Structure 1
Amino acid sequence: MTLDVSELARNIAGPVLKPGDKGYEQETAGMQTAFPREPDVVVGATGPNDVRAAVRFAVDNSLPVAVQGTGHAFSTLRGGLLVNTSRMNAIEVHPRKRTVRFEAGVRWAQVVEATAPHGLAPLSGSAPNVGAMAYTLAGGMSLMGRKYGYAADHVRQIDVVTADGRYRHVTVDNDPDLFWALRGGRDNFGIATAAEVDLVEVDQLYGGGLFFDGSIAGDVVPAWRRWTDDLPDEMTSSLGVVPFPDIPPIPEPLRGKHVVHIRIAFLGDAATGEKLVAPLLTAGSRLMEGLREMPYTEAGTIYNDPTDPMPYHGTNAMLSDLDDKAIQTLLENAGPGAQHKFILELRHMGGAYGREPEVPNAVNHRDAAYALGALSRIGPVDLPTAVSAHADLANAMAPWSIGCGLNFTYGDASPDDVRAVYNDQDYRRLTELKSRYDPENLFRLNYNIPPAR
Structure 2
Amino acid sequence: MSGAAATRAAGRDPGVTPPGTAEYEAATAVFNLHAPVRPAAAVTARTVDQVRAAVRYARENGLGVRAHTTGHQSAAARPMGRALLVRTLLDGPVEVDAARRRARIPAGTRWGAVVEAAAAHGLTAAHGSSPTVGVVGYLLRGGLSFYGRKVGLAVNTVRAVELVTADGEVRRVDDASDPELFWALRGGGGGFGVVTAIEIDLFPAARVVTGAAFWPAAHAARLLSAWRRWTLDAPPEASTSLRMMNLPRVPEVPDVLSRGTMLCVDGAVLCESEDDVATARRHAEDLLGPLRAVAEPVLDTWHLTTPAAVLETHMDPADPVPILGDHLLLREIDEEGERAFLRVTGEGSGSPLILAGLRQLGGAISRPVPGAGALGHRRRPLRRTRGRGAAGRPGRRGDDQAALREGAGGAPAVGHRPHGPHLRGDLRPAAGASRRRAGGGRRPRPRAGRSGRAVPRRRHGEHVRPAVTHPRTAGAAAQGTAVPRSAGTARRSRPPPCGRVSRPRRAAARAGAPSRRGGCRCGPTAGRGA
Q: TM bucket by the smaller chain?
A: 0.7 to 0.9
Q: CA deviation at 1:25?
A: 1.6
Alpha-carbon distance in 1 for matches of 2:133, 2:424: 14
1:329 aligns with 2:333: no
Q: 2:22 matched to which residue of 1?
A: 22
Structure 1 328/425 Cα, relative in aligned 2: closer, same or farther at 3 Å?
A: closer
Q: CA deviation at 1:394?
A: 5.6
72-81 vs 62-71, which deviates more? 72-81
Q: 1:64 matched to which residue of 2?
A: 64
Alpha-carbon distance in 1 for matches of 2:155, 2:300: 32
Structure 1 258/22 Cα, relative in aligned 2: closer, same or farther at 3 Å?
A: same
Q: Which amino acid in 2 is paired with 1:120?
A: L
Q: CA deviation at 1:114?
A: 0.9
Any idea what SS the aligned residue of 1:399 has? Answer: coil
388-397 vs 94-103, which deviates more? 388-397
Q: 1:177 aligns with which of 177, 180, 187?
A: 180
Q: Which amino acid in 2 is paired with 1:399?
A: P
Q: How big is each residue's C-alpha offset from its partner over 1:72-99, in whole Å with a ceiling of 9 and x where there is no partner?
A: 0113644211000134453111111110
Q: 1:441 matched to which residue of 2?
A: 518
1:292-303 alignment to 2 at 5 Å? 292-303=303-314
87-96 vs 236-245, which deviates more? 87-96
Q: CA deviation at 1:444?
A: 6.8
Q: 2:216 matched to which residue of 1?
A: 213
Q: 1:356 matched to which residue of 2?
A: 368
Q: 1:272 matched to which residue of 2?
A: 282
Structure 2 residue runs of 5 or longer lacking an equivalent are 1-6, 272-276, 426-437, 445-458, 472-491, 502-516
The answer to whether the Cα contact below 8 Å between 2:46 and 2:90 also exists between their aligned partners in 1 is yes
Q: Which amino acid in 1 is paired with 2:386?
A: A
Q: 1:254 aligns with which of 228, 250, 257?
A: 257
Q: 1:4 matched to which residue of 2?
A: none
Alpha-carbon distance in 1 for matches of 2:140, 2:255: 38
Alpha-carbon distance in 1 for matches of 2:378, 2:129: 20
The answer to whether the Cα contact below 8 Å between 1:8 and 1:57 also exists between their aligned partners in 2 is no
Q: 1:239 matched to which residue of 2?
A: 242
288-297 vs 157-166, which deviates more? 157-166
The answer to whether the Cα contact below 8 Å between 2:192 and 2:526 also exists between their aligned partners in 1 is no
When Rg is computed on C-alpha atoms for both structures, the one with the higher figure is 2
Alpha-carbon distance in 1 for matches of 2:86, 2:399: 33
Structure 1 121/364 Cα, relative in aligned 2: closer, same or farther at 3 Å?
A: closer
Q: CA deviation at 1:238?
A: 1.0
Alpha-carbon distance in 1 for matches of 2:300, 2:323: 28
The answer to whether the Cα contact below 8 Å between 1:42 and 1:81 also exists between their aligned partners in 2 is yes
Structure 1 435/37 Cα, relative in aligned 2: closer, same or farther at 3 Å?
A: closer
Q: 1:199 aligns with which of 198, 202, 213?
A: 202
1:372 aligns with 2:417: no
1:82-161 alignment to 2 at 5 Å? 82-161=85-164
Q: Which amino acid in 2 is paired with 1:218?
A: A
Alpha-carbon distance in 2 for matches of 1:434, 1:322: 41
Any idea what SS the aligned residue of 2:70 has? Answer: coil
Any idea what SS the aligned residue of 2:166 has? Answer: coil
Q: Which has the higher helix share?
A: 1
The answer to whether the Cα contact below 8 Å between 1:316 and 1:404 also exists between their aligned partners in 2 is no
The answer to whether the Cα contact below 8 Å between 1:213 and 1:258 also exists between their aligned partners in 2 is yes
Q: CA deviation at 1:301?
A: 2.5
The answer to whether the Cα contact below 8 Å between 2:193 and 2:526 also exists between their aligned partners in 1 is no
Kindly tell me the number of residue pairs found equivalent between the two proteins: 434
The answer to whether the Cα contact below 8 Å between 2:330 and 2:384 also exists between their aligned partners in 1 is yes
Alpha-carbon distance in 2 for matches of 1:424, 1:186: 13
Q: CA deviation at 1:102?
A: 0.2
12-21 vs 323-332, which deviates more? 12-21
Q: How big is each residue's C-alpha offset from its partner over 1:331-369, in whole Å with a ceiling of 9 and x where there is no partner?
A: 223334333322112111111001112322111561111
Any idea what SS the aligned residue of 2:203 has? Answer: coil
Alpha-carbon distance in 2 for matches of 1:63, 1:148: 39
The answer to whether the Cα contact below 8 Å between 1:68 and 1:86 also exists between their aligned partners in 2 is no
The answer to whether the Cα contact below 8 Å between 1:162 and 1:168 also exists between their aligned partners in 2 is yes
Structure 1 283/373 Cα, relative in aligned 2: closer, same or farther at 3 Å?
A: same
Any idea what SS the aligned residue of 2:412 has? Answer: helix
Using the size of structure 2 for normalisation, the TM-score is 0.74
Q: 1:189 matched to which residue of 2?
A: 192
Any idea what SS the aligned residue of 1:16 has? Answer: coil
Any idea what SS the aligned residue of 1:325 has? Answer: helix
Structure 1 122/308 Cα, relative in aligned 2: closer, same or farther at 3 Å?
A: same
Q: Which amino acid in 2 is paired with 1:441?
A: G
Q: CA deviation at 1:142?
A: 1.1
Any idea what SS the aligned residue of 1:333 has? Answer: helix
The answer to whether the Cα contact below 8 Å between 2:261 and 2:347 also exists between their aligned partners in 1 is yes
Structure 1 residue runs of 5 or longer lacking an equivalent are 1-6, 449-453
Alpha-carbon distance in 1 for matches of 2:30, 2:396: 20
Q: CA deviation at 1:183?
A: 0.7
Structure 1 255/10 Cα, relative in aligned 2: closer, same or farther at 3 Å?
A: same
Aligned-residue RMSD, C-alpha: 3.3
